Structure 1
Amino acid sequence: MTAHPYDLAPEPLGYDAVLLASFGGPEGQDDVIPFLRNVTRGRGVPEERLEEVAHHYRAHGGVSPINAQNRALKAALEAELARRGLDLPVIWGNRNWDPYFPDALRAARDAGHRRLLALVTAAYTSYSGVGQYLEDFDTALDETGLRDELEIAKIREYFDHPGFIAPFAEGVRDALDRIAAEKPGASTHVLFVTHSIPTAAAAASGPEFGEGGAYVAQHLAAAEAVLREAGTTDAAWSLVYQSRSGAPQIPWLEPDVNDAIDGLAASGVDALVIVPLGFVSDHMEVVWDLDTEAIETAEGHGILAIRVPTPGTHPAFIAGLVDLIVERLEDVPVEERPHLTDLGPWPDLPSQGAGAPAVLAR
């Protein structure tokens, strides 16, 4: 197994609530620009650029799907926890929109909870998916004055957990079957898509994992696991990126999904399976960047393109997330933790709060 930059953090038992931690999104036209200002705070993004992005949300009534999906995820987790006889409430908090993390921590404290397990809706290692959430928790503990009262432990990244991989594998099988029925003999390519990040940020996620750091290594390993679980390891496939933002002179991970589709069309590919491997639910960057822009690019070339569903509230995904919760409750030994790649199981991180200083990670 590849060595990790940190070891499993020994934690005493006794967690008493789950903090469902997510990105947040606008819930009406008046929310769109304030939300985008929250997302880009401190980055000097001009208002005109915010307006360019805002039309993605405005085309959907100013409402991001992510909040409804997190409400459904929260309800599904609560139901699965109850089914297993686990008395753990799920408290939802967001980085960029209501309910914000400080409100979630106050609600936890007021309900008598002291030790929270944070389940983040990001499966991979990166600053935005790990380090920034830890900073958010740290800031919220200070803002609320609850550092000495609450402890927050983040559940490990689950990019190769069977519960995360299974819905994608099912979707790939279904898509390939549909292509075989609708376009027999098609030259088919599987595109695994994730959010682009600056190449420097990718490298910083774990330089010991090679070019692209842990972020790219985890996605490549997860893609191979999906194809293996789908029973189609001989499929032609590649990892591509979407939703690039920021200054044009800063290098980001490439190729962009639309550029990749153009290139595949030129090589004779006439059917695509688009797998949103970097996402846990069908939020705006999936329904716009993939369902709108990427599908339009494919159709412009006469390519049959099928977008695989994200895990969402798939029963296997929900069961897998609760397995991850139980893993921490019962302090399951590392050798018994489920994983489908040689990179896993990814380690835990030390907890924050209860008087401890902040512990940040890549």
Structure 2
Amino acid sequence: MEDVNEQRDDNQTSGSTPVTATLERPGPLFASKAASSGAPFIETPVAYDAILLASFGGPEGQDDVIPFLRNVTRGRGIPDERLEEVATHYRHFHGVSPINEQNRELKAALEAEVARRGLDLPIYWGNRNWDPFLEDAVREAHADGHRTLLAIATSAYSSYSSDRQYREDFARVLTDTGLGEGDDPVTIDKVRLFFDHPGFVEPFYEGVRDAVAAFLADGVEASAVRVLFSTHSIPTADAERSGPRDVEWGEGGAYAAQHRAVAAHIMERLAEELPETGGSSWSLVYQSRSGPASQPWLEPDINDEIAELPAQGVKAVAIVPLGFISDHMEVLWDLDNEAIQSATDAGLRAVRTQTPGVHPAFVAGLIDLVEERLNGTPAAERPALTELGPWYDISRPGDSENVRLGFKPAAAGILP
């Protein structure tokens, strides 16, 4: 059956013919005046008065699981019996997804960093699929007198569900609540995608460095170590639409290109700082696919890749959750459970490295992104660790189209 997960919740078309939406549509941008200009980078200061932390959400008890999964799959007509099959992952953890508690910790850490820098910016947290919902967060911000919000979404890369869908959520909320209309509307902009920001990459680098160094210290030769950078698989049709259409991204679109660029940076830095690790190899792999077998998704699957490693002389594997912000369900189940078991079955030593979570560099980096927009920092002065960055403040036309549904109204982006 089709799974559901904490990264992707819009299973696209299972057919082979994509829906091509027009690149013109009427409607408001729900954005600040600066972000409505259509410029790729906003290099003038914007007086934001609050931060909106936007995430996926997750159940916090056994009674929440099926209602949560109904929210995730709304509009797709999946019966509860099928949802219960997916619910086993959550039931294994007493019906509790760790993502909400992780977001509480991240919100508290961001608030502490904001206070340390003397910024007068309250932080509101809202989810797409479970309490606290985005609608409630935006209503609360409005009731407190805030009108110009800057959103941080808990996703770093280009794709429909990790980027554009959040902006569609903001437009939907501002429309449904009526708060995006009238003479004093609420606007919601979004910080740039941060896949190659130093604060996001540093925790992953530290994890790779420590894992590979530990293998070598235990007598494993560098040539027998493989680093597997794992991210969420998405339909190839979505991946091909995951970046601006005027760029040739290669296989997997901007989504795969961003992951490959960050992984290559980490391994190059590792070889420079620890030359003895230079023989270690790496691969980009995918996990948690949830579509029908007839629909092409990004490959290789991490478990399939692990099964082939012994024949390549690999003795130890470091599993790096490069596509994930925190240790939510897909990390705990798909990596800590299934992938580690695959490594055990293959006779490999294995370790799963850390996610950013509330790592100080990550927290500071997110507020750096906020200050970029507060100060109108020129793009040339913004930090980025790959040639792909810094990424755009304003998504370009056609970026991250939903193949099945086409373009819906979205906040803070150039049309569509």
Measured against the shorter chain, the TM-score band is over 0.9
Which structure 1 residue ranges, 5 or more long, are not aligned? 351-355
Contact 2:43 2:378 (8 Å CA) reproduced: no
Partner of 1:50: 83
Partner Cα distance (1:153, 1:267) in 2 = 47
CA distance in 2, matches of 1:98, 1:229: 40
Counterpart selection for 1:64 from 93, 97, 109 = 97
**Which of 205, 209, 212 does residue 169 from structure 1 map onto?**
205
* Contact map agreement 1:131 1:360 (CA 8 A) in 2: no
Task: Report the counterpart of residue 258 of structure 1 in structure 2.
Answer: 303
Q: Percent identity?
A: 61
Equivalent position amino acid for 1:124 in 2:
Y
Q: Distance in 2 between matches of 1:281 and 1:329?
A: 26
Q: Which has the higher contact order (CA 8 A, sep 6+)?
A: 2
Counterpart in the other structure of 1:41: 74
1:42–1:6 Cα change, 3 Å: farther
The normalised TM-score by structure 2 is: 0.81
- SS state of the match for residue 364, structure 2? helix
Which residue, 374, 390, 393 being the options, matches 1:329?
374
Code of the residue aligned with 1:307 in structure 2: it is: R
Give the counterpart letter for 1:17 in structure 2: A
Residues 155/357 of structure 1: CA separation in 2 closer, same or farther (3 Å cut): closer
Deviations 1:309-359 (A, max 9, x none): 000000111111111111110000000000000000001027xxxxx9855
- Return the alpha-carbon distance in structure 1 between the equivalents of residues 355 and 305 of structure 2: 21
The alpha-carbon distance between structure 1 residues 219 and 233, as it changes in their structure 2 partners (threshold 3 A), is farther
Other-structure match for 1:296: 341
Match of residue 215 from structure 1: 255
2:148 paired residue number: 115
Deviates more, 1:42-51 or 1:82-91: 42-51
Question: 1:1-362, aligned counterparts within 5 Å?
Answer: 7-9=40-42, 13-148=46-181, 149-185=185-221, 187-206=224-243, 207=245, 208=247, 209-230=249-270, 231=273, 234-349=279-394, 358=411
**Structure 2 residue identity aligned to 1:174:** D
**Partner deviation per Cα, 1:180-236 (whole Å, 9 max, x = no partner):** 233433611000000000000000112521221110110000111222333456530
Partner AA of 1:41 in structure 2: R
Structure 2: give runs of 5+ residues left out of the alignment. 1-37, 396-408
Shift of 1:11: 5.8
Look up the SS of the partner of 1:62 in the other structure: coil
Q: CA deviation at 1:47?
A: 3.1
Residue aligned with 1:339, SS: coil
The answer (yes or no) to whether the contact 1:115–1:152 under 8 Å persists in 2 is yes
Structure-2 separation of matches of 1:46 and 1:250: 21
Aligned residues: 354
Alpha-carbon spacing, 1:357–1:79, altered in 2? closer, same or farther (3 Å) = closer
What displacement does 1:52 show? Answer: 1.9
CA distance in structure 2 between the partners assigned to 1:192 and 1:20 by the alignment: 26
Which amino acid in 1 is paired with 2:176? E
| TM-score normalised to structure 1 length | 0.93
Q: CA RMSD in A?
A: 2.0
Query: What is the DSSP-based 3-state SS (H/G/I as helix, E as strand, rest coil) of the residue aligned with 2:100?
Result: helix
**What amino acid does structure 1 have at the position aligned with 2:234?**
I
**CA–CA distance in structure 2, aligned partners of residues 6 and 100 of structure 1:** 30
After TM superposition, give the deviation of residue 13 of structure 1 in Å. Answer: 1.3
Per the alignment, do residues 343 and 102 of structure 1 end up closer, same or farther by CA in structure 2, a change over 3 Å counting? same
Distance 1:11 1:50, change over 3 A: farther
